[in-house]
Amino acid sequence: MVRNRNKEIFKTEGLLKVEKYFSKDLVKRIHNALWEEIFTQFRIRLEDKSTHPKASLDNQDVVRLNNMNPVMRKLQDDGVFKEIEEKISSFLLESFPDSLWKVNESWYSLINFPGNKRTWEVPKNSWHNDIPIVSGEELPWSIFVFIPLDEVTIDHGPTLVIPRSHLEGLKLADEFGVYDKNSIDAFKSTNKDLALDFKTTKLLPVGKLLPLLREGRAFTPEKSFKPLVGSGGDMILFDPRGLHTGSSNVSNSPRQMIRIDFHLSEKPSF
């Protein structure tokens, strides 16, 4: 069954791309509303490069639009994301029938304008993971859903991910996991409805995976990464326990990507 295949791929790879999941029309509406709001708040027009922010530092990888939260909040308040949230929710329900996922309170903008690097590269010391790895848990506490609003190519400086790195993390969590109050408290604030056995939860806190993987062996992410590239209409699910990073935008247009997170709200029973 397709839904079981989706779950298996996601559990193994930490990554699942579904091409053309959203209609072109839905993505276009979000795209247009986003750029209208960016114009209202920053006077930046996609089609007018003279209005685009420029890199201020030599060798800057990307130019981020800071203060995008009010833009994303406005779109949310206007109901622009409602339909796409429902579509993602129903996909998660189909694909992970034993668990319940709740949409995060806010959307993230990953719009990055070109920096002034000439050749594409990965910024130094930028590989990281975003959530702790709980020993024995096949699914993460959160799923990140990346949504390209237009063509995102390697030149646009996509997010790069290391497939299966969360599985390495699970092995390390078995061996080196600890009870970590900070991680548990952060978890309680996002995954409010999920009951964990807090006293016995053993996890690898954020920031521990990369150093442990590097211990005793050469870890070469540049050989095994996958770029989160795609077209408007595609949907990419990522397990944020896995290693990932941004990369430099050497194209001549912004990376048009947004992200929404879903949090686990009921414990899966396998």
Ligand X SMILES: O=C(O)CCC(=O)C(=O)O
Which residues sit at the interface with ligand X, rule CB under 6 A? 110, 130, 159, 244, 246, 259
Q: Measured from the CB atom, is 78 or 147 closer to ligand X?
A: 147
Strands 160-161 and 133-134 turn out to be unpaired
Element (H, E) at 18: strand 15-18
Give whichever of 92 and 111 is closer to ligand X, judged by the CB atom: 111
Min dist CB 112 to ligand X, Å, is 6
Nearest distance, CB of residue 159 and ligand X, angstroms: 3
Taking CB positions, which residue lies at the least distance from ligand X? Answer: 246
Task: For residues 95 and 6, give the distance between their C-alpha atoms in angstroms, rounded to a whole number.
Answer: 6
Strand partners, 10: none
Using the minimum distance from each CB to ligand X, give the nearer residue, 7 or 255.
255
CB of 244 to ligand X, least distance (A): 6
- Would you say 117 or 259 has its CB closer to ligand X? 259
Minimum distance from residue 230 beta carbon to ligand X (Å): 13
DSSP codes, 167-221:
HHHHHHHHHH-B--HHHHHHHHHHSTT----TTT--EE-TTSHHHHHHTTS---G
